[in-house]
């Protein structure tokens, strides 16, 4: 996987002056689009589209310093208008392209390079389970993507659940995991966005079809699931487990993540403050490219 990631970085560098599509990158290495985007994001700490955008802007910065006009630079790196390029460049660098051109200001964003950092090993428990098609019945909304700390918008979503909605959810609960879950899906990966959103749903998995109109629904097809139990300080342990599933387990597991809602549930420890047991459920399939 490390060699593959570095091959992708070289591919991007060779094509910065072209319209690089995420699916083209995935096709280049023979991985599924969704699987590779997830792996890249968790190992590098940023979405693949954001990395491509910033590398283009860093190269544009160098071209402006070298005397290339703002107009030529904007169109060279795929922007359809000077205004669009100027907004993106200013947001990234803090400078107008014309200022960089005049004053030779260099703002850098180095090319990534991946390597293996061998540290003390940690066991990672995982169970492979099969679930039939089901519905997540609950409440949902678009929220900003956030990988560390408490997401305030998800907290607000949880606080918005009424007593009646909660009762309806518990009446529908008829399959594992027999808990209220937090599920995320449909995340943004747009080239011109600095930040993305995803849809978050708080609800219960159910095979029931008669669902109250008070609840939102998300249909999930039958899949294989990799289940990662974890226990410790909340939410750090849960978030660390989610990151490790992508950065450590998936690259060597023989499985790839698929484009379906992943979900988790958390049981807070009543005796230990901010301590919890959680499970992360990731939809996977056996990797077709071995």
140-198 per-position pLDDT tens digit? 999 887 766 678 889 999 999 999 999 999 999 999 999 999 998 877 554 333 357 88
CB 39 within 8 A of CB 250: yes
Residue 26 DSSP label: H
What DSSP line would sit under 139-162, residue for residue?
Answer: EEEEEE--SSS--HHHHHHHHT--
Residue where the block lists tokens 């606080």: 159
Tokens found for residue 238: 């849960």
Say whether pLDDT at 290 is over 50: no
In this predicted structure, the answer to whether residue 204 has a pLDDT above a threshold of 50 is yes
Nearest to 39 by CA among 279, 249, 260: 249
User: What separation in angstroms does the CA of 150 have from each of 140, 231, 281?
Assistant: 17, 17, 20
The pair phi, psi for residue 287, each rounded to 5°, is -65, 125
Q: What is the largest CA-CA distance in the chain?
A: 68
pTM higher than 0.75 for the full model?
Answer: no
Q: Which residue ranges make up each domain of the chain?
A: 2-103, 127-286
Segment 50-61, tens digit of pLDDT? 888 999 999 999
CATH superfamily of 2-103: Homeodomain-like (1.10.10.60)
* Count of other CB atoms within 10 angstroms of residue 282: 24
Distance CA(205)–CA(220), nearest Å, equals 9
Q: According to the model, what pLDDT value does residue 43 have?
A: 75
Question: Of the spans 4-18, 86-100, 252-266, which averages the highest pLDDT?
Answer: 86-100
Tell me yes or no: is domain 127-286 CATH 3.20.80.10: yes
């Amino acid at each position: 996987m490390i060699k593959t990631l570095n091959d992708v970085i070289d591919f991007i560098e060779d094509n910065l002056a072209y319209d690089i599509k995420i699916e083209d990158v995935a096709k280049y290495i023979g991985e599924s689009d969704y699987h590779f985007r997830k792996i890249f994001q968790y190992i590098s700490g940023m979405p693949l589209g954001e990395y491509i955008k910033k590398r283009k802007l860093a190269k544009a910065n160098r071209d402006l310093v070298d005397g290339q006009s703002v107009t030529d630079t904007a169109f060279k790196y795929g922007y359809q208008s000077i205004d669009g390029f100027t907004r993106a460049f200013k947001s990234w660098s803090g400078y107008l392209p014309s200022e960089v051109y005049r004053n030779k200001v260099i703002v850098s964003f180095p090319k990534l390079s991946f390597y293996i950092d061998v540290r003390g090993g940690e066991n990672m428990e995982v169970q492979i389970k099969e679930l039939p098609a089901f519905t997540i019945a609950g409440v949902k909304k678009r929220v900003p993507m956030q990988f560390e700390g408490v997401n305030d918008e998800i907290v607000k979503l949880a606080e918005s659940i009424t007593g009646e909605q909660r009762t309806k959810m518990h009446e529908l609960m008829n399959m594992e995991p027999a808990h209220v879950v937090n599920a995320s899906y449909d995340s943004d990966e747009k080239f011109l966005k600095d930040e993305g959103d995803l849809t978050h749903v708080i609800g219960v998995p159910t095979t029931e079809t008669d669902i109250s109109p008070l609840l939102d629904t998300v249909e999930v097809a039958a899949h294989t699931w990799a289940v990662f139990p974890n226990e410790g300080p909340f939410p750090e342990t849960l978030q660390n487990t989610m990151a490790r599933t992508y950065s450590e387990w998936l690259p060597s597991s023989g499985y790839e993540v698929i484009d379906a809602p992943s979900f988790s549930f958390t049981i807070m420890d009543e005796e230990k403050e901010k301590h919890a047991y959680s499970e992360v459920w990731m939809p996977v399939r056996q990797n077709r490219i071995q």
